[in-house]
Amino acid sequence: MASAAPQRAVKLNGVTAEAVDLTAEQVQELTNSSSGWRKCQVPALLGVPLAMKQLAPTTAATRPTFEQPAVFLLMDPRSGFAPPDVQQNGLGEVLLARTDGKDYTVTELWQLHEYNCHLMNRWGDWLEDGMDSPDVQEELQEALSPQGFADHT
């Protein structure tokens, strides 16, 4: 009996992305939050249940100059900000995988990043208009949905 194909994921370091196969151990770890995988809240709201694992501690020497693609994946859906530890220390090289067992591709990463950039441009307006405003809440709910993502891509 043939074994199942490995789950495809993306290794990301700054703006360099490559497709990789997850090991059986990494697939098992995806559902265990104590294994170092962090859930990406905004992508999940968009219909892409994604998790990220930092592959090595970040130092000034190893931190990429431009980490926006990875950092944006960890933004908080309420504020648009990445967690304080990410803002302060960065991420370095990370592994990205879907938590639903489906493959995740480099093309999908860049589509999601482009949409995250769109969201970041909107967050400034939403914060200025007041996050508790009914109009802002409606726009935010529409933008942070699978349909909002699909309409943009």
Global confidence as pTM = 0.87
pLDDT of the chain, 153 residues: tens digit per residue? 445 678 999 999 988 999 999 988 888 888 776 678 999 999 999 999 999 999 877 766 666 677 889 999 999 998 888 999 888 888 888 999 999 999 999 999 999 999 999 999 888 888 888 888 899 889 999 999 999 999 998
> What's residue 30's pLDDT?
80
Return d(Cα 67, Cα 60) in angstroms, integer. Answer: 13
The answer to whether 53 and 36 have CB atoms below 8 angstroms apart is: yes
Question: Does residue 33 lie in a domain region?
Answer: yes
For residue 145, being part of any structural domain is answered with: yes
Structure confidence at residue 127 (pLDDT): 83
Does residue 116 lie within any of the structural domains? yes
pLDDT of 111: 97
Nearest C-alpha neighbor of 94 from the set 5, 16, 8? 16
Q: Is 39 among the domain residues?
A: yes
**2 located within any domain:** no
Sign of CA dihedral 109, 99, 76, 142: positive
Domain annotation covers residue 147: yes
Return the pLDDT at 33. Answer: 64
- Is the residue at 1 inside a domain? no
The domain in which residue 131 lies consists of 8-152
Instruction: Determine the pLDDT at residue 149.
Output: 96
Residue 97 lies in a domain: yes
State the total domains in the chain.
1
Determine the pLDDT at residue 108.
97
Residue 94 backbone phi and psi in degrees, to 5? -130, 160
